[in-house]
A and B are shown apart, each in its own frame.
Chain A
Amino acid sequence: MAKQVVQLSQVIIRFAGDSGDGMQLTGDRFTSETAGLGNDLKTLPDFPAEIRAPAGTIPGVSAFQLHFADHAISTPGDAPDVLVAMNPAALKANLKLLRAGGTLIVNTDEFGKRAYEKVGYTANPLEDESLEGYNVIPIALTSMTVEALKDFDLSKKEAERAKNMFALGMLCWLYDRPSQGTIDFLTSKFGKKPEILKANIAAYEAGWSFGETTESFAVQYEVKPAPMPTGEYRNIHGNLALSLGLIAAGQLSDLPIFLGTYPITPASDILHELSKYKNFGITTFQAEDEIAGVTSAIGAAYGGALGITTTSGPGIALKSEAIGLGVMLELPLVIVDVQRGGPSTGLPTKTEQADLLQAMFGRNGEAPVPIVAPQSPSDCFFAAIEAARIAIEYRTPVFLLSDGYLANGSEPWLVPDTTTLAKIEPNFTTEPNHELPDGTKDFWPYLRDPETLARPWAVPGTKGLEHRIGGIEKADGAGGISYDPDNHDKMVRIRQAKVDAIARTIDPIVVDDPSGKARVLVIGWGSTFGPIGGACTLVRDAGLDVAQAHIRHLNPFPSNLGEVLAKYDRVIVPEMNLGQLNMLLRAKYLVDTVNYNQVRGLPFKTDELAGVITDVLKSL
């Protein structure tokens, strides 16, 4: 008998289990099916740094949150409507997130005495009154999976492993998601192990049928597609978008890419991605350390490649001296920092925005480096191209500041037409650029373009332009070693002026103020774009006026930024640090900003931020 179908406008669902339970995979698959249905969506994987902490413990809990809707949404959601808890540890670690009255699907098979006592419950939480405020749906996921697979030639352990597929099938039924994508995915993953493949499909189908027949689910839900601009879409994670942006930059500039890097969470996936695309002329070099990663990229850039290095905060600390060399040599270099919780090793798998000042100032001497920050997972694509454009056209290291939330989060993306992307012109110098008094021509490596102040890029192999460059201060123009005080003063100012001049080629900052009446501006940078946008929407829905602006270029700032800030009675700066952008804005524009800061390793919650904004509005 077909069940009743209920329409929902949005759902936030959170899968939580042991690191070995395959929750990330379950979440990814559910996301793919959801994307294919045309819902708008945002995801947030939340997993521990340990690969497999002891089973059944809180440190071993891995979760995946997905927010999907029939309208545009900006975040993975504050409080889940549905929590799937595969064991007591997952319940304990995630229950506080679930909204009051939310649905709790629990795997009862894992709630033995030893298991719940292990995480500190004194009684079985499914049997006392502690879960009264929720709609608890107890399901014997493990034993039903084992039962469904009893005819397969599998050990009990192997059969139990498929319980995530049972859960996935069940939820796909509950939210009316298609199955074919998951079956195709399993086929490509387990194609070489037919027994495992069949078992996983069988577990998935058993979960689906269970959903259809069980009394536990009275209704089936449907979330209609969100209205989106027409076109072809894909779902994309930030690290993948960033990798594709780098590859695109190589193609747009017609330069071979050289990536010099050392593995570190959450940046390693960029290395993994780029290493797959050697046919695009991409060389990836897994160096002995971060210093070799960045310096090898500098060496490649000296030879005419698009030099790239990727890392997270601790790696930037190691690369600092070499980045200063890049500033001195004036060679193109893209430095990707996928920020994570710090200092030191900090929170490797969690997000944070606390490397802004490190990127801005973390070098000896006056060493200005442009900074570009993407604002969403898909925006990592365009931000990567922009970083490469600045690096190549201005012959300078450029920071691309992503973070853990962007890196691992995903969203639907209208696939861009790559033929419309602007070319990047490396403009190699192949002829002498200077004439000596006696009329002979020679090459001056530091004779600049009057417009951009960029120096010529003449690569080894170019006849007649043999020259030496280095980290020692050079004479303006000719480029030989110079310790002259006035020359040094001049060169320091020129390097700064060159970076400042980039502002002429970047878009002015745009303010989103639908009513045109806002007296308060909320300004942020990086991955807080979604949460700030969501918070502003909540505030506006409550009938108040607020404006939002987001800074993509943190160095140099867009030229109209000062003017924009001056227009508002109050400027709020929310950041996942202790106020780094805030410090820069105050120092540069002398505005009395209000900062709001959290460093919890997690993105802001929109309702909390909305509260902060409302408080400021009411104080006016």
Chain B
Amino acid sequence: MTINDLPALSLVPKTDVTQSAKDFKSDQEVRWCPGCGDYSILSTVQGFMPELGLAKENIVFISGIGCSSRFPYYMNTYGLHSIHGRAPAIATGLSVSRPDLSVWVVTGDGDALSIGGNHLIHALRRNVNLKILLFNNRIYGLTKGQYSPTSEQGKITKSTPQGSVDYSFNPVSLALGAEATFVARSIDSDRKHLSSVLAAAAAHEGTALVEIYQNCNIFNDGAWEQLKDAETADDLLIKLVHGEPIRFGKDGNKGVVRTADGQVAIANVAEVGEDALLVHDAHREDPALAFALSRLSEVHTLADTPIGIFRDVKRPSYDRLVREQLDEAREKKGAGDLQALVRGNDTWLVG
């Protein structure tokens, strides 16, 4: 696949030089805590960017507020570190008015799902041409450790000494419910998997939401550890691959099947047989199955957690539709004539 096949990027100028990860490193000193999962994500993104072959000056990173939102300062592209929760709205204004840019949003679980929840769902339903990277560490990092909308119920934090009573959001379920056309999940430490998801997101026309499980080793250390530890991961992690039967567990002993009532369930492959396994179809128009898959994971134990691309369907981006209306207006009415407009069509002469 060449870059020109990617509808999302067809209007973005390409580079004529060979880029490397180094070209995407800014001169700013990185200020995350040593060991923070944000480092691995940054390095993966910097390593992945050259693959796109885009002119560096046509790439923009926009973020809100939070540890994760410092991200743009470290990318040697254009960047805007804004205010808490508003990055999707700022990026919408930029993306809609500049089709020649590749616009990325970096946000956290608090930034995207608490204060910025409204902007996130509306960007998703509109399908603005944005790639949103949601760093989910299930905690408020920058404000030093309060529970977040993705924290599990009962979580003990500074603001919830007896355990939080809030029920949590599942960002993938939320995005699917908000009419998202592309929804994926990956893990900070899995460079290969994350890169592949990012590539698919970049190629998608419209909003792509990528939830990235990220470790905050200071305030919520090990939140995703079971999914990373080779000992436990195989048994918990479901890797979704488009066109392939959904199978996981040690030696692939488990799989996902559809039940008689249309739901999905985990089954023992030896019992149900390979042919009974659900074949993952990320391009299914109907989001119900993707939603059902997103509901498999268990909030506390992380059992049966799917990663990969849940949904990737085609719908014209908001940007494109807006542009079409502008073009149509110009074609029909011609470029505007200011004097005629100011004059209007109901005038009278004096003298």
Quick one: which of B244-263 are within 8 Å of A by CB?
none
A469 near B81: Cβ-Cβ < 8 Å:
yes
- From B91, which residue of chain A is reached at the shortest CB distance? A299
Stretch of A274-282, A390-398, A542-550 with 4 or more beta carbons under 8 angstroms from chain B: A274-282
B58 near A280: Cβ-Cβ < 8 Å:
no
Quick one: which of B42-81 are within 8 Å of A by CB?
55-60, 62, 65, 72-73, 75-81
Residues of B within 8 A of A303 (CB): 93-94, 97-98, 101
* CB of A159 closer than 8 Å to a CB of B: no
* CB of A599 closer than 8 Å to a CB of B: no
- From A275, which residue of chain B is reached at the shortest CB distance? B325
- Known contacts A279-B335, A296-B90; A258 and B347 CB within 8 A of each other: no
- CB of A305 to closest CB in B, whole Å: 5
CA–CA, A305 and B28, complex, Å? 28
B336 near A298: Cβ-Cβ < 8 Å:
no
- Known contacts A279-B332, A289-B118, A481-B73; A419 and B96 CB within 8 A of each other: no
A292 near B336: Cβ-Cβ < 8 Å:
no
Residues of B within 8 A of A461 (CB): 13, 55, 57-58, 98, 100-101
Residues of A within 8 A of B82 (CB): 295, 298, 325, 470-471
Contact pick for B325, options A278, A287, A289, A471, CB 8 Å: A278
- Known contacts A244-B342, A251-B338, A289-B118; A256 and B86 CB within 8 A of each other: no
- Interface Cβ pair total, 8 Å cutoff: 210
B122 near A292: Cβ-Cβ < 8 Å:
yes
- From B69, which residue of chain A is reached at the shortest CB distance? A470
Quick one: which of B117-160 are within 8 Å of A by CB?
118-119, 122
Residues of B within 8 A of A236 (CB): 344
B72 near A470: Cβ-Cβ < 8 Å:
yes
B336 near A251: Cβ-Cβ < 8 Å:
yes
Residues of A within 8 A of B28 (CB): 468, 480-481
Residues of A within 8 A of B81 (CB): 468-472
Residues of B within 8 A of A289 (CB): 118
Which one of B79, B80, B119, B343 has the greatest number of beta carbons of chain A within 10 Å?
B80
- From B122, which residue of chain A is reached at the shortest CB distance? A288
* CB of A232 closer than 8 Å to a CB of B: yes
Contact with B along A257-269 (1 / 0, CB 8 A): 0101000000000
Question: How extensive is the interface on chain A, given as a class?
Answer: 35 or more
- CB of A178 to closest CB in B, whole Å: 11
- Known contacts A279-B336, A291-B89, A471-B83; A460 and B330 CB within 8 A of each other: no
* CB of B26 closer than 8 Å to a CB of A: yes
B347 near A234: Cβ-Cβ < 8 Å:
yes
Contact with A along B17-29 (1 / 0, CB 8 A): 0000000001010
A279 near B333: Cβ-Cβ < 8 Å:
yes
Residues of A within 8 A of B351 (CB): 229-231
Chain A interface, >50% SS class: mixed
- From B349, which residue of chain A is reached at the shortest CB distance? A232
Quick one: which of B287-340 are within 8 Å of A by CB?
322, 325-326, 328-330, 332-336, 338-339
CA–CA, A295 and B84, complex, Å? 11
- CB of B49 to closest CB in A, whole Å: 12
A302 near B341: Cβ-Cβ < 8 Å:
no
Residues of B within 8 A of A285 (CB): 92-93, 96
* CB of B346 closer than 8 Å to a CB of A: yes
* CB of A556 closer than 8 Å to a CB of B: no
- Known contacts A277-B336, A472-B81; A302 and B26 CB within 8 A of each other: no
B92 near A235: Cβ-Cβ < 8 Å:
no
A298 near B97: Cβ-Cβ < 8 Å:
no
A300 near B97: Cβ-Cβ < 8 Å:
yes
- From A309, which residue of chain B is reached at the shortest CB distance? B93
* CB of A176 closer than 8 Å to a CB of B: no
Contact pick for B96, options A233, A258, A466, CB 8 Å: A258
Contact pick for B86, options A37, A233, A291, A462, CB 8 Å: A291
- From B115, which residue of chain A is reached at the shortest CB distance? A291
- CB of B189 to closest CB in A, whole Å: 26
Contact with B along A555-576 (1 / 0, CB 8 A): 0000000000000000000000
* CB of B270 closer than 8 Å to a CB of A: no
* CB of A316 closer than 8 Å to a CB of B: no
- CB of B326 to closest CB in A, whole Å: 5
CA–CA, A307 and B97, complex, Å? 10
* CB of A304 closer than 8 Å to a CB of B: yes
A247 near B338: Cβ-Cβ < 8 Å:
yes
Which one of A231, A279, A299 has the greatest number of beta carbons of chain B within 10 Å?
A299
27 A-B residue contacts at CB 8 Å? A229-B351, A232-B343, A232-B347, A232-B349, A233-B347, A233-B350, A244-B342, A256-B97, A278-B325, A278-B328, A279-B329, A283-B96, A288-B89, A288-B118, A289-B118, A295-B86, A296-B96, A299-B80, A303-B101, A305-B93, A418-B339, A460-B58, A461-B101, A466-B77, A466-B78, A468-B78, A470-B82
> Can you name 9 extra interface pairs (CB under 8 A) apart from A279-B329, A418-B338, A466-B78?
A258-B96, A280-B338, A292-B122, A299-B92, A299-B95, A303-B97, A329-B80, A463-B55, A468-B78
Residues in B lying within 8 Å of A, measured CB to CB? 13, 26, 28, 55-60, 62, 65, 72-73, 75-83, 86, 89-98, 100-101, 118-119, 122, 322, 325-326, 328-330, 332-336, 338-339, 341-344, 346-351
